[in-house]
Each structure stands twice: as structure tokens, then as C-alpha cells.
Amino acid sequence: MEAARLHEYTDDVSTGLSIDEVDAPQVTDGSDVIVEVAGAGWCQTDNHIVEGMWESYVPQPLPMTLGHENAGTVVETGDDVRTVSEGDQVVCHPVQTCGTCRYCRQGETMYCENDAFNGLTTDGGFADLLATGERSVVPLPDGVDPVAVAPHADAGITAYHAVKKAVGALVPGDTAVVIGVGGLGRIGLQCLDATSAADIVAVDVKQSARDLAADLGADATVDPTTADVADEISALTDGRGATQVLDFVGSDETTALAPDVCAPGGDHHVIGYGGHIHEPAQALVDGEFAYQGNIVGRYTELRELVALVERGDVSLHTSRYDLGEVNEVAERLEHGEIDGRAVITP
């Protein structure tokens, strides 16, 4: 079968992957599931993997097939699989877990001590077929397109995971700020609108993104290039500040907003990454706000997100590309030329 493989790290994402002929994955364990990939979302993290940014955090045996946002049709299962059958359409959580370690027993599947992460530590879905496991597949309801839903396997549940934590601290009358209404931010904004009664303020440099935010449920929008974000948030909240901030950018500039925009006891959720946090300890003591890191969500949260998609509360604009266009997609994403989420269709 064909697969888009990373052989060595490079800063030139336009040449990062090669299309190779590789052996098709086989069932070797009773819980194995082989999925024919209908769609595999291209994520900014894929660019970062190509560039080697994740090498010091997780082991990456090269060459490796990338692609961690996958959905498609089950074509083969191990003898012990009971929840899905051949022909079922599924979306695949990117993490394959052991199910028996302490974290798995607690339901914190993202902390599994024996995990494998498709497209990051083991072969992913930029290929005709994907090897995964029964604990990682979520059956799709009738009428839900696997190509359209594929990006929710990471982008969607990462946004939902952060929103779910934020919603637990929001009550009617509170304000939540969404920074960055790109691929993840637009999902997060919809999830926030669907699951909370807070007022939502969207911050983005692009007029088109602010217009989209208003259409998706934002009560107000702010252009950080022409307005002081802290002053605008203060005015919109009668000086109280935002109870929850969801930062889908994660740059030095956006994380630096926390001391000035967070309400006392609030949280600044860092979802996007690439920047740093350089705030004085006294600022955290004075405001008693907290920075919250966010990684991809739990398996159960993917099921919950699929339910929101089925209900029509969350939708996502996708553009589709052939497997041979992976490097073109990477380059376009690097230059901010992808609207919504790009999906590779092997």
C-alpha cells in the first residue's frame, strides 16, 4: 500500500514526506482493528513533527507514517473485538492505550503509561490502511461523513477537552474569551456555545475569522491589531475580567495577556503552542489565576464530541487533498493558506 512517510526531520516542510510503497498492516492481536482510511486530517502538529519539535518529548522511530486524525471503514478485526465489525465506519482516537495501567483505570487515557500514538510514535493514517485497536475506535452514527469528521480525532477533542474543563468553572454572567478562531478555535467556540451559558468574546487578527466567530455564537469580537485586548475585555466585563480564556494560539503575545484579562481565580488554557510563558510569579499570586495546559482529549470525550456533531451543534469546514499532495498541504498550512481543516483522502 502507499503511505506518506517521514524519513528525517527538516525545516522545509514542502519536502518533508515521501510517498512510499509499504507493507499493509496485519492483525496480530485479538483487539486489533484495521481501518481503511477515508480521511486523515492534516494538523499543525504534523508540521511540527516534520520539523523535529516533538523528538525530545516522545520517541519517534523513523521512517514513520504520519497522520493522527483518522476516520474510515473497518476492514478486519482481531478475534476478541466485539464493539465494531467489518464494514462499520469509525473515527479513531489517535492514542492506543493498554487499559490496565493506573491512568487507564482512572479514565485518564491520555496519560497511559504504555500508549502508542498514531502518526507520532507509531504509523498513522496518511496511508491506505491504519492499524489501531478496539479501545480507540468510535463508531460513527448514520449520516456522519468520516472524511468530514476525521479532524475531530485530534483537533476536535483537543478543543473540546479544554472547553469541557473551562465550562466547569463558568456560570451564567461569566465571560469566556477565545483567542484564535482558526481550525481549533472555531471548534472550541462552537463547543463553548453549545455547552455553556457564558458570554463569549473572540479575539483574532483576521476580519474573516471574527465574522465567522460572530456567526458561530460569539457575543463580541476584538481585533488585537487595532484595539487593546485587555481594555476591551475590561469594558465588556465591567472590569471583572474573563473567568476562562481559551488560547488557541499559544504565542508569547497571547499567553502574556493572562495577567491583564483573567478575572481573579480564572484560568488561561494554553491549547496552541510554540510560544512561552514569561510572566512574573507575583502576577499569578496577585490575580490567583492559573495557566492550564491541554493535550488531546480522552476517548470518552471523542464520543461526546461525535454526539455534538451528530446533533448539528459542531460543524467544520474541510478542504480535501490526495495523498500525493501532503507536502503541498504542509506548505500551505505553514503560510496560513488553509481555511478550516485540510483532510488527506488516501
The CATH number of the domain holding residue 288 is 3.40.50.720
Can you give the pLDDT at residue 276? 94
User: Cell 512510499 maps to which residue?
Assistant: 20
Can you give the pLDDT at residue 157? 95
pLDDT digits (tens, 9 = 90+) for 199-221: 999 999 999 999 999 999 999 99
Same domain, 138 and 8: yes
Residue 183 has pLDDT above 90, yes or no: no
Same domain, 92 and 236: no
Can you give the pLDDT at residue 339? 77
Same domain, 302 and 283: no
Same domain, 337 and 248: no
CA–CA gap between residue 43 and residue 222 (Å, rounded): 26
Same domain, 183 and 265: yes
Same domain, 148 and 13: yes
pLDDT digits (tens, 9 = 90+) for 247-261: 999 999 999 999 999
State the Rg of the chain over Cα.
20
Can you give the pLDDT at residue 317? 85
Cα 118 to Cα 19, 123, 125, 132, 270, distances in angstroms:
17, 5, 7, 8, 23
For the ranges 128-132, 174-178, 277-281, 326-330, the lowest mean pLDDT is seen at: 277-281
Can you give the pLDDT at residue 65? 98
pLDDT digits (tens, 9 = 90+) for 11-45: 999 999 999 999 999 999 999 999 999 999 998 89
Are residues 185 and 179 in contact, defined by beta-carbon separation less than 8 angstroms?
yes
Same domain, 12 and 139: yes
Q: Which neighbouring-strand residues pair with 72? A: 37, 90
Write phi, then psi, for 222 (nearest 5 degrees).
-135, 135
Same domain, 58 and 149: yes
Can you give the pLDDT at residue 213? 96
Taking the whole predicted model, whether its pTM rises above 0.95 is answered as: no
**What pLDDT band is residue 57 in, cutting at 50, 70 and 90?**
confident
Residue 4 has pLDDT above 90, yes or no: yes
Q: What is the mean predicted confidence (pLDDT) over 225-244?
A: 97
Are residues 230 and 259 in contact, defined by beta-carbon separation less than 8 angstroms?
no
Residue 46 has pLDDT above 90, yes or no: yes
Q: Which domain holds residue 178?
A: 158-293
Instruction: State the amino acid at position 323 in one-letter form.
Output: L
**What pLDDT band is residue 326 in, cutting at 50, 70 and 90?**
very high
- With 0-12 / 13-18 / 19 or more C-beta atoms within 10 angstroms meaning exposed / middle / buried, residue 295 is middle
Cα 171 to Cα 26, 120, 244, 247, distances in angstroms:
49, 37, 11, 20
Same domain, 30 and 111: yes
Same domain, 54 and 115: yes
C-alpha cell belonging to residue 91: 473515527
Same domain, 300 and 315: yes
Same domain, 27 and 148: yes
What is the SS3 assignment for 173-235? Answer: CCEEEEECCCHHHHHHHHHHHHHCCCEEEEECCCHHHHHHHHHHCCCEEECCCCCCHHHHHHH
pLDDT digits (tens, 9 = 90+) for 268-304: 999 998 899 999 999 999 999 999 999 889 999 999 9
- With 0-12 / 13-18 / 19 or more C-beta atoms within 10 angstroms meaning exposed / middle / buried, residue 154 is buried
**How far is C-alpha 147 from the geometric centre of its chain's CA atoms?**
16
Report the number of distinct structural domains present in the chain.
Answer: 2
